């Protein structure tokens, strides 16, 4: 895949709408329908524009689902990487990896299945906090492993007090722990006779009255939430006296730094102890045998791919068994094109993320990993690393600010996990405009195929307006379709060319070369 703006143009061979084939999601034997073309060469700018019109690649095969006919409509999804917010389950995965590397902790390393192979709780609109802004199936994008959605926490049952603890009662008042006069009952509490009050415990027994009473985790969480709420209200409270309870709470926590949410980078790039039992290194390697790192690690990477395919996707050994980057001056230092992100653990490759670095995004193509390390939730971890990588590239290439996750398939519950990377948008299949996913979900609940653009008068702004300007490569000669049409012998192929041009759009049809034999 070459960089856009120069060099060889994209050369594609369009196949038209293909006959239905087996769907990797609903297992319909002939329900998956798509348009397809073979990319003999492809510039990064052309591919960027194609995926923004619903196309996707698998190797050099580029395909576009026939959205209103296929059994499982596949909507292009992108995450706004610069505004990305980690969820609780994302933080859980990052902490799990950090504990494993820094302490060798595998205590929570229970067998966790990938989303494609396990049930993921449905994503509903209320799950999102939007701010502002195969061929296709299992070979298109390895599912980004996601822990099961965390359920609502059950309230802890109050522990039965021992007689040694009765003299210190815990009363919740704005989540603060306030000692109660042992001779006076609090509101709504039964009075205690002097018989229930005991002397301070003997050394080594009972509660230590010189220290604050033990507190439950839920009480601490409530206090933090209240503290954050009060701090957010400080702007409106300036110049006016605070309530006594507010003053007490802010005073108590005055030495505590503001509880700011941690970013992905805070988890990933944290300093590790010198005696950490494991070392994880992520290497970015161009997909080219001319690159020494790619060439030297190819056999190990290929062996890992075969192991993954056979263990996860049940491929046989025989079934397991491209491109160069360019460096424009205004692009990222690594250049644009196809890359492997290799995850090296203690000198051994345990996962490989296949990505495309394009002018406006990092596009996730595939992930394969060592099943022996599935307890690390490598799918989710790699996705978070790729989002962090997108943010890093943005520093050098300001236009590069999105992370594309392939297709979102609402009709397949196991594939809804991609919507948990927020804020994210779905591509309207008719007008090719981006729409916040939480606005799309109610529509998809009503119909698996939906037009997201609610402006009924809106049309595809990139549609073909002049078919004669489509560029054609015929007998090693580049010409506009209007010229080729006059020279062509035999039956007209105008319908096929018209379909091709409407799918790739006017801009790409005038830049790419449509191969005609």
- 65: which strand partners? 34
Band (495; pLDDT cuts 50, 70, 90): very high
- 417: which strand partners? none
Q: How does strand 11-17 pair with strand 34-41? A: antiparallel
Residue 19 has a pLDDT of: 76
370 burial class (0-12, 13-18, 19+ CB within 10 angstroms)?
buried
- Three-state DSSP at 418 gives helix
Cis peptide before 423 (omega within 30 of 0): yes
* Mean per-residue pLDDT, 208-232: 68
> Between these two residues, 106 and 278, which has the higher pLDDT value?
278
**Cα 442 from chain centroid (whole Å):** 21
| Euclidean distance between CA atoms 71 and 247, whole angstroms | 60
Range name among 63-77, 329-343, 495-509 with the lowest pLDDT average: 329-343
> In whole angstroms, how large is the CA radius of gyration of the chain?
29
| Euclidean distance between CA atoms 131 and 88, whole angstroms | 18
- Three-state DSSP at 407 gives strand
CA dihedral of 290, 351, 65, 325, whole degrees rounded to 10: -20
**Structure-token pair, residue 111:** 């067998």
Residue 313 has a pLDDT of: 79
- Three-state DSSP at 166 gives coil
Band (78; pLDDT cuts 50, 70, 90): very high
* Mean per-residue pLDDT, 18-31: 86
**Structure-token pair, residue 53:** 């019109």
Q: What is the pLDDT of residues 127-185, one digit of tens each?
A: 222 222 233 333 333 333 333 333 333 333 333 333 333 333 332 333 222 233 333 33
| Euclidean distance between CA atoms 35 and 53, whole angstroms | 12
| Euclidean distance between CA atoms 384 and 376, whole angstroms | 13
Band (358; pLDDT cuts 50, 70, 90): very high
Band (7; pLDDT cuts 50, 70, 90): low
- 513: which strand partners? 11
The DSSP-derived string for 404-440 is EEEEE-TTSGGGGGGGGSBSEEEE-TTT--EEEHHHH
How many CB atoms are located within 10 Å of the residue 440 CB? 23
């Amino acid at each position: 895949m070459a960089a856009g703006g120069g060099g060889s143009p994209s050369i594609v061979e369009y196949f038209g709408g293909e006959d239905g084939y087996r769907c990797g999601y609903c297992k319909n034997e002939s329900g998956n329908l798509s348009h397809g073309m073979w990319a003999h060469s492809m510039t990064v700018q052309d591919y960027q524009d194609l995926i923004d019109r619903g196309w996707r690649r698998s190797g050099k095969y580029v395909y576009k689902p026939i959205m209103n006919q296929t059994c499982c409509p596949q909507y292009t999804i992108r995450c706004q990487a610069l505004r990305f917010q980690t969820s609780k389950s994302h933080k859980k995965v990052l902490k799990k990896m950090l504990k494993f590397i820094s302490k060798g902790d595998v205590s929570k390393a229970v067998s966790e299945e990938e989303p494609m192979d396990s049930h993921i709780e449905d994503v509903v609109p209320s799950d999102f906090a939007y701010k502002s802004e195969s061929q296709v199936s299992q070979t298109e994008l390895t599912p980004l492993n996601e822990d099961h959605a965390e359920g609502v926490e059950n309230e802890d049952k109050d522990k039965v007090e021992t007689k040694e603890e009765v003299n210190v009662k815990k009363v919740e008042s704005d989540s603060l722990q306030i000692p109660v006069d042992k001779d006076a009952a609090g509101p709504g509490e039964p009075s205690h006779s002097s018989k229930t009050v005991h002397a301070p415990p003997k050394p080594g027994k009972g509660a230590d009255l010189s220290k604050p009473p033990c507190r439950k985790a839920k009480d601490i969480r409530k206090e933090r939430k209240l503290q954050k709420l009060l701090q957010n209200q400080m702007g409106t409270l300036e110049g006016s006296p605070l309530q006594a309870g507010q003053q007490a709470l802010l005073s108590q926590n005055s030495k505590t730094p503001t509880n700011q949410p941690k970013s992905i980078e805070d988890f990933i790039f944290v300093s590790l102890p010198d005696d950490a039992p494991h070392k994880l290194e992520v290497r970015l390697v161009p997909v080219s045998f001319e690159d020494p790192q790619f060439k030297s690690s190819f056999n190990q990477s290929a062996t890992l791919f075969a192991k993954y395919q056979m263990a996860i996707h049940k491929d046989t050994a025989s079934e397991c068994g491209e491109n160069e980057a360019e460096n424009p001056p205004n692009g990222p230092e690594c250049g644009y094109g196809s890359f492997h992100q290799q995850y090296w653990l203690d000198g051994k490759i345990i996962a490989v993320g296949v990505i495309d670095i394009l002018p406006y995004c990092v596009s996730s193509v595939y992930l394969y990993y060592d099943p022996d390390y599935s307890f690390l939730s490598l799918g989710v971890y790699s996705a978070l690393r790729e989002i962090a990588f997108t943010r890093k590239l943005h520093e050098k290439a300001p236009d590069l600010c999105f992370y594309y996750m392939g297709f979102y398939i609402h009709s397949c519950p196991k594939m809804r996990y991609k919507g948990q990377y927020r804020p994210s948008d779905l591509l309207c299949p008719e007008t090719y405009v981006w729409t916040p996913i939480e606005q799309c979900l109610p529509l998809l609940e009503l119909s698996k195929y939906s037009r997201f653009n609610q402006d009924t008068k809106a049309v595809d702004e990139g549609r073909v307006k002049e078919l004669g300007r489509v560029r054609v490569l015929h007998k090693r000669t580049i010409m506009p379709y209007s010229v080729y049409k006059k020279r062509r012998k035999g039956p007209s192929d105008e319908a096929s060319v018209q379909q091709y041009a409407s799918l790739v759009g006017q801009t790409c049809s005038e830049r790419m070369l449509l191969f005609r034999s």
